[in-house]
């Protein structure tokens, strides 16, 4: 949804003007405070200038070129996008990768069973032949980053209709991508920044032979689980290790026995010297999505209308699933990853809402908007004068359908698994309508493949009460204009009884039988299935009513948002605007720092192993501690990793991060690894909408704790030997 409403020529001029720096230059750069003024997720190729100066003022000893360089190896060559979601970094000359435990969780789970429970017990390959392959996994390196705004906006005129503009932009992007200079094994793609005001090309390299090397037990890697998630003080050793394999020429290749460990252009040395308050830190990774430039009316809608509904639906689903997981070990393994994913954002939204309220974020936005209007009026910028009232109108228009969409996504798509399966089958039926027999057969194979993974972790016993509760909430809560007759006239409890007794969608064997036959036969069987009937009714509402309506309004919102973004940058020349996160490689930086969460309470910046022992509850679901770790603690057997006799575990800093930054390296002033980003503090989770340097902190595992666990706990000393350990402070 990127649109252009400006004179192309003027836009190009404007963008070329600010191309060398992503931050509108501050009036006098030498006046930057030694303490950080704001957050930001900056584009690595555009750090020279204001960012570089600011980083150096904060203590960095590197140059912008040490971080990103096209011609020489630089820090960026050690960073990968991990399976499209998290971040990971190369920490040895043999392609050893470090990421979070929760990022490798799905892989660790996939190799686990009740007999070999690597989630519970941990896993360590004691040599390369024991490393476990992970079909379907990939990591992506960024080879090059180029500004291609002028090419993408070529010929695009403000006078053009929005759809025409977009299709021209899409065509230009296809052209830029196709003609990008790159090697045969590389890929190219273009992403929009600043809401469509800037376009950037990424040349990437994707490796697909990624093997699991090691993971601590969940009682370390996920210590504190959901109770401690998004919280400080924290004591989680949230890490796991993988290795990239390549062909004989070090190029990407699918799994093969004779593939070899990847030789990186750069890998991160590991610092043994730890951190202290105010030390410079840089976090390098792939933040997924932020929304820092929304108008007050949009934040109000998120916080007061949408978040409460999503929180409520998830709370209900989680309570039911949790009950089963606590009493049945096989259900615990099956649902562990799904549960963690649902619980994660449930808790995040609660923190986000509290933070927005406490920091008066909406009132702050209103103040900014008042000032914005004044400046627009003063400069007589007619083109910008209706932006804020356009937002008011459009957010009012979108409210009901946005709510309906969230109900659908949370109930049908995310939480009631049988409805999710029926959604996949609905797509299969559509494949027949669109592509005939050939289309159907292709889609059937893909669907059956996905179902194999799906049903491996499915229990109708768990799903049925979730259906009964959530579909009732859907029926009662979705705006009536979007309520399907099937639900309006039906009794949900009776529906659940019928479906979970009679539908084929409750097991893989039954679904496979159902999908056997000619397309016509399969579709006839599907449409006679009790579960599919309800699922189809709800999915077709989404496809035919909810989503089209939602998109229709959102196209208009995006056009206003784009213009608003441009206007903000023009009217507040002293402010520095970073582009919202969009799953591209970014640099964020700050300092190690504690914070004051509430009046009278101050949090320090580091936690220690002693704190793990304080939280220890023997046999507990979330706070058990492995015996070996207890012994190491008692014996103070910390090797070279202790800090004045204590074993550091986690620390916090002012780096502006978001989802996707999990697994990102925390790097010191010289470019060495000091920690592994994995979370944010609860009081600051609103930073996706409104960063506030006073209370927003990212949470990192201290790299010395990782080394200690690998070395002393797991005895995987061969991995330590592979790394380059350094003492930058000595």
Q: Does 285 bind ligand ARG (CB under 6 A)?
A: no
Tell me the two tokens of residue 641: 């990793």
CB atoms within 10 A of CB 183: 10
Binds 661, which of ligand ARG, ligand GLU, none (CB < 5 to 8 A, cut-off by type)?
ligand GLU
Q: Does 234 bind ligand ARG (CB under 6 A)?
A: no
* Alpha-carbon separation of residue 138 from 87, 104, 692, 729 (angstroms): 11, 12, 34, 36
Q: Does 176 bind ligand ARG (CB under 6 A)?
A: no
Q: Does 662 bind ligand GLU (CB under 6 A)?
A: yes
Q: Of 74, 81, 92, 102, which one is the catalytic site residue? A: 102
Q: Which residue matches tokens 């979730």?
A: 466
Q: Bridge partners of 271?
A: 726
| Angle of CA points 190, 83, 97, to nearest 5° | 115
CB 70, min distance to ligand GLU, A: 27
Residue in 110, 281, 661, 690 binding ligand GLU, rule: CB under 6 A: 661
Q: Does 279 bind ligand GLU (CB under 6 A)?
A: no
In 3D space, the residue among 158, 223, 190, 116 whose CA is nearest the CA of residue 14 turns out to be 158
In 3D space, the residue among 350, 190, 372, 354 whose CA is nearest the CA of residue 293 turns out to be 372
Tell me the two tokens of residue 692: 């506030």
Binds 343, which of ligand GLU, ligand ARG, none (CB < 5 to 8 A, cut-off by type)?
ligand ARG
Q: Bridge partners of 96?
A: 243
Q: Does 196 bind ligand ARG (CB under 6 A)?
A: no
Euclidean distance between CA atoms 197 and 558, whole angstroms = 12
Q: CB-wise, 464 or 697, nearer to ligand ARG?
A: 697
Q: Does 343 bind ligand ARG (CB under 6 A)?
A: yes
* Alpha-carbon separation of residue 345 from 255, 355, 362 (angstroms): 34, 15, 21
Q: Binding mask 391-430 vs ligand ARG (x if CB under 6 A, - otherwise)?
A: ----------------------------------------
CB 344, min distance to ligand GLU, A: 7
Residues in the chain, how many?
Answer: 730
- Burial class of 230 by CB neighbour count within 10 A (0 to 12, 13 to 18, 19+): buried
Helix axes 547-571, 162-179, angle to 10 degrees: 80
Q: Bridge partners of 675?
A: 666, 702
Binds 222, which of ligand GLU, ligand ARG, none (CB < 5 to 8 A, cut-off by type)?
ligand ARG
| Angle of CA points 291, 296, 300, to nearest 5° | 90
CB 238, min distance to ligand ARG, A: 7
CB 341, min distance to ligand GLU, A: 10
Euclidean distance between CA atoms 404 and 392, whole angstroms = 19
Residue in 284, 349, 578, 678 binding ligand GLU, rule: CB under 6 A: 678
Q: Of 77, 226, 238, 692, which one is the catalytic site residue? A: 238
Contact 124, 214 (CB under 8 A): yes
Question: What one-character-per-residue DSSP string does 615-664 give?
Answer: H--TT-TTT---HHHHHHHHTT--GGG-BTTB-EEEEEE-----TT-TTP
Span from 75-83, 139-147, 225-233, 379-387 in contact with ligand ARG (CB under 6 A): 225-233
Binds 660, which of ligand GLU, ligand ARG, none (CB < 5 to 8 A, cut-off by type)?
ligand GLU
CB atoms within 10 A of CB 39: 22
Euclidean distance between CA atoms 288 and 581, whole angstroms = 6
Residue in 225, 657, 672, 690 binding ligand GLU, rule: CB under 6 A: 657
Residue in 106, 221, 659, 663 binding ligand ARG, rule: CB under 6 A: 659
In 3D space, the residue among 103, 96, 138, 104 whose CA is nearest the CA of residue 123 turns out to be 104
Span from 133-141, 205-213, 270-278, 340-348 in contact with ligand ARG (CB under 6 A): 340-348
Binds 235, which of ligand ARG, ligand GLU, none (CB < 5 to 8 A, cut-off by type)?
none
Q: Does 659 bind ligand GLU (CB under 6 A)?
A: yes
Tell me the two tokens of residue 417: 């698994």
Q: Does 353 bind ligand GLU (CB under 6 A)?
A: no
Q: CB-wise, 216 or 519, nearer to ligand GLU?
A: 216
Residue in 415, 657, 662, 672 binding ligand ARG, rule: CB under 6 A: 662
CB 646, min distance to ligand ARG, A: 25
Tell me the two tokens of residue 254: 């699918």
Q: Does 102 bind ligand ARG (CB under 6 A)?
A: yes
Q: Which helix (H) or strand (E) holds 177?
A: helix 162-179
Q: Does 660 bind ligand GLU (CB under 6 A)?
A: yes
Binds 141, which of ligand GLU, ligand ARG, none (CB < 5 to 8 A, cut-off by type)?
none
Answer yes or no: 238 catalytic. Answer: yes
Binds 340, which of ligand GLU, ligand ARG, none (CB < 5 to 8 A, cut-off by type)?
ligand ARG
Residue in 74, 94, 229, 591 binding ligand ARG, rule: CB under 6 A: 229
- Identify the three-state secondary structure at position 678: strand
Answer yes or no: 102 catalytic. Answer: yes
Q: Does 236 bind ligand GLU (CB under 6 A)?
A: no
HSE-CB of 425 using CA atoms within 13 angstroms: 30
Q: Does 107 bind ligand ARG (CB under 6 A)?
A: no
Binds 198, which of ligand ARG, ligand GLU, none (CB < 5 to 8 A, cut-off by type)?
none
Q: Of 74, 337, 539, 662, which one is the catalytic site residue? A: 662
In 3D space, the residue among 708, 728, 315 whose CA is nearest the CA of residue 720 turns out to be 708
According to CB under 6 A, which residues from 81 to 100 bind ligand GLU? 86
Binds 653, which of ligand ARG, ligand GLU, none (CB < 5 to 8 A, cut-off by type)?
none
Euclidean distance between CA atoms 589 and 587, whole angstroms = 7
Q: Bridge partners of 699?
A: 652, 679
Q: Which residues are catalytic?
A: 102, 238, 662
Contact set with ligand ARG (CB under 6 A): 102, 222, 225-226, 229-230, 340, 343-344, 659, 662, 678-679
Contact set with ligand GLU (CB under 6 A): 86, 657-662, 678-680
């Amino acid at each position: 949804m990127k649109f252009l409403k400006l004179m192309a020529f003027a836009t190009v001029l404007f963008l070329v003007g600010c191309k060398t720096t992503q931050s509108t230059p501050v009036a006098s750069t030498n006046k930057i405070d030694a303490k950080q003024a704001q957050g930001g997720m900056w584009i690595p190729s555009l750090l020279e200038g204001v960012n570089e100066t600011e980083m150096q003022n904060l203590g960095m000893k590197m140059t912008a070129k040490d971080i990103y360089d096209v011609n020489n190896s630089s820090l960026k060559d050690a960073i990968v996008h991990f399976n499209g979601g998290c971040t990971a970094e190369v920490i040895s000359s043999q392609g050893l990768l470090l990421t979070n435990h929760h990022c490798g969780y799905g892989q660790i789970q996939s190799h686990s069973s009740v007999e070999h429970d690597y989630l519970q017990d941990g896993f360590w390959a004691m040599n390369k032949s024991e490393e476990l392959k992970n079909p379907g996994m990939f990591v992506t390196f960024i080879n090059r980053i180029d500004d291609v705004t002028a090419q993408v906006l070529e010929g695009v005129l403000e006078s053009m209709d929005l759809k025409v503009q977009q299709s021209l932009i899409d065509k230009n992007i296809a052209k830029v991508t196709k003609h990008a200079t790159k090697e045969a094994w590389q890929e190219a793609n273009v992403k929009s920044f600043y809401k469509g005001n800037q376009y950037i090309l990424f040349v990437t390299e994707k490796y697909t032979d990624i093997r699991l090397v090691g993971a601590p037990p969940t009682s370390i890697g996920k210590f504190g689980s959901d109770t401690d998630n998004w919280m400080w003080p924290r004591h989680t050793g949230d890490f796991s290790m993988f290795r990239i394999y390549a062909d004989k020429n070090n190029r990407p290749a699918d799994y093969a026995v004779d593939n070899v460990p990847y030789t990186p252009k750069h890998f991160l040395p590991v610092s043994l010297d730890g951190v202290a308050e105010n030390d410079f830190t840089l976090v390098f990774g792939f933040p997924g999505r932020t929304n820092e430039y929304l108008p007050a009316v949009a934040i109000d809608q998120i916080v007061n209308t949408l978040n409460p509904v999503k929180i409520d639906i998830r709370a209900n689903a989680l309570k039911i699933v949790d009950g089963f997981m606590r009493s049945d070990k096989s259900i615990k393994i099956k649902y562990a990853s799904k549960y963690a994913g649902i619980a994660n954002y449930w808790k995040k939204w609660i923190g986000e809402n509290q933070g927005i309220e406490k920091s008066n974020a909406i009132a702050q936005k209103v103040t900014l908007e008042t000032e914005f209007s004044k400046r627009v009026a003063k400069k007589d910028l007619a083109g910008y004068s209706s932006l804020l009232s356009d937002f008011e109108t459009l957010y009012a228009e979108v409210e009901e359908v946005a709510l309906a969409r969230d109900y659908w996504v949370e109930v049908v798509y995310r939480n009631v698994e049988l409805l999710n399966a029926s959604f996949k089958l609905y797509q299969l039926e559509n494949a027949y309508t669109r592509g005939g027999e050939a289309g159907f057969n292709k889609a059937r194979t893909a669907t059956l493949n996905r179902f194999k993974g799906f049903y491996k972790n499915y229990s109708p016993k768990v799903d049925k009460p979730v259906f009964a509760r959530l579909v009732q909430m859907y029926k009662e809560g979705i705006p009536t204009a979007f309520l399907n007759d099937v639900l309006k006239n039906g009794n949900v409890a009776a529906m659940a009884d019928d479906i979970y007794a009679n539908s084929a969608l409750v097991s893989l064997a039954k679904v496979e039988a159902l999908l056997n036959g000619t397309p016509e036969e399969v579709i006839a069987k599907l449409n006679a299935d009790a579960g599919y009937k309800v699922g189809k009714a709800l999915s077709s509402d989404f496809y035919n009513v909810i989503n089209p309506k939602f998109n229709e309004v959102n196209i208009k919102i995006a056009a206003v948002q784009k213009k608003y973004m441009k206007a903000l940058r023009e009217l507040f020349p002293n402010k520095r605007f970073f582009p919202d996160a969009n799953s591209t490689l970014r640099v964020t930086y700050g300092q190690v720092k504690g914070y004051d969460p509430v009046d009278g309470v101050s949090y320090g910046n580091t936690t220690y192993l002693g704190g793990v022992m304080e939280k220890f509850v023997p046999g507990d679901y979330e706070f058990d501690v492995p015996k070996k770790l207890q012994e190491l603690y008692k014996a103070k057997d910390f090797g070279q990793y202790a800090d004045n006799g204590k074993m550091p575990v986690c620390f916090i800093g002012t780096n502006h991060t978001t989802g996707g930054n999990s697994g990102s390296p925390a790097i010191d002033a010289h470019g060495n690894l000091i920690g592994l980003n994995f979370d944010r503090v609860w009081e600051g989770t609103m930073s996706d909408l409104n960063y506030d340097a006073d209370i927003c902190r990212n949470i990192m595992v201290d790299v010395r704790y990782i080394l200690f666990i690998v070395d002393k706990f797991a005895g995987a000393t061969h991995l330590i030997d592979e790394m380059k350990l350094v003492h930058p402070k000595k």
